Amino acid sequence: MFPKKTIRDVDVQEKRVLVRVDFNVPLENGRVTDDQRIRAALPTLRYLLERGATLFLVSHLGRPKGKRVPELSLQPVTEVLEHLLGRPITFVPDCIGPEVETRAAQARPGDVFLLENVRFHPGETKNDPEFARQLARPAELFVNDAFGTAHRAHASTVGVAQFLPGVAGFLLEQEVAILTRALEAPEPPLVALLGGAKISDKIQLVENLARRAKALLIGGGMANTFLAARGVAMGDSLVETDALEEARRLLERFGEKLHLPQDLLVAQRLDANAETRLVSVEEGVPTGWKAVDIGPKTIEAFGQTLREAGTVIWNGPVGVFELEPFARGTFTLAWILADSGAQSIVGGGDTAAAVRLAGVADRMTHVSTGGGATLHLLAGKPLPAVEALQDREA
């Protein structure tokens, strides 16, 4: 059971509600190019609006580092949100101050205000208590529905819960419940598919999953560092030299569970038109070449393990999938997983983008909206934004 109170557990009727959403969406020429994160917030927003709540939506966008950056304004989100909710949205060009308070004083049930990028203020990432107090001032209740920022102890995720009763929205509740269940009570056997560029930020993830899973299938840049730690020549591949000792320790401790590539696709440069060749791990990657994908033998071996799994947790692509010639490994494993019948839990960020590009996102059990938050939770770490909410028992 989700341990915190949710919007079902409190009276939201005609309340003024500060809702932390994750509208950190990609923009191009001032237009939203992917509205997935906006759509993910709709069930919570609709629930509140159906009960006559007045909503003050707060989010970050990008990393403006405490300064007003016009290119990172949330204003372009207004039009998309109006279309999806089917009602007018009032954009407020700041998230604190007189204009916000004036709007709150004049607000009527059902009004929706989208506040400007909370990270335009340095107090947000510093979790400044005074900034959090000003952010909370217009509202009577705080609802956190931004799972993607749940690992951040910021003013809009943790600080405001000191000034307002804080509860979870449906998305936050769902993400935590599904990911926790995949760890604590998976359909056996549990298999983890791990990729991405680095192991340095996934060491605790590897340790936590290795204690629980039957097998960890490792590709991408992560695999390069593990292979180098085994003494495999990696040419000009991305290798975290500072993490080699940690990789050796993990191999020594969990070696029988860590499944590394048997062969690799290599190229001389990260270019769709670059010359490529297949190499076995035994021969290694030649000087001047770099690993860009797993090879067919590895795809077959990893695929067979996925077909036999009851639950699969996938975090990180196994190649440079953004370039079509280097996408075969990631896409093929996505197709195999979609057909496998396993409970498939896909981490956010690049992994979510990969399954969407492969055309199978709707065939996965769960595609997370989080990136760092998903990693944090799967690594067994507490999420500060969840800890800050009211306990269900309280």
Positions marked active-site: 37, 198, 349, 372
Q: Are 132 and 153 in contact (CB under 8 A)?
A: no
Judged on CB neighbours under 10 Å (0-12, 13-18, 19+), 297 is middle
Summarize the chain as % helix, strand, coil (round to 5): 40, 20, 40
Q: Please, what's the b/e burial string for 78-113 (b: 16 or more CB within 10 A of its CB; e: otherwise)?
A: bebbbebbeeebebbeebbeeebeebbeebeebbbb
**Tokens encoding 175:** 């993400």
Rounded Cα–Cα distance for residues 17 and 141 (Å): 5
Rounded Cα–Cα distance for residues 394 and 386 (Å): 15
CA nearest 301: which of 260, 360, 344, 330? 260
Three-class SS state of 91: strand
In this structure, the strands spanning 311-315 and 190-194 are parallel
Query: To which H or E segment does residue 387 belong?
Result: helix 384-387
**Tokens encoding 214:** 């039957």
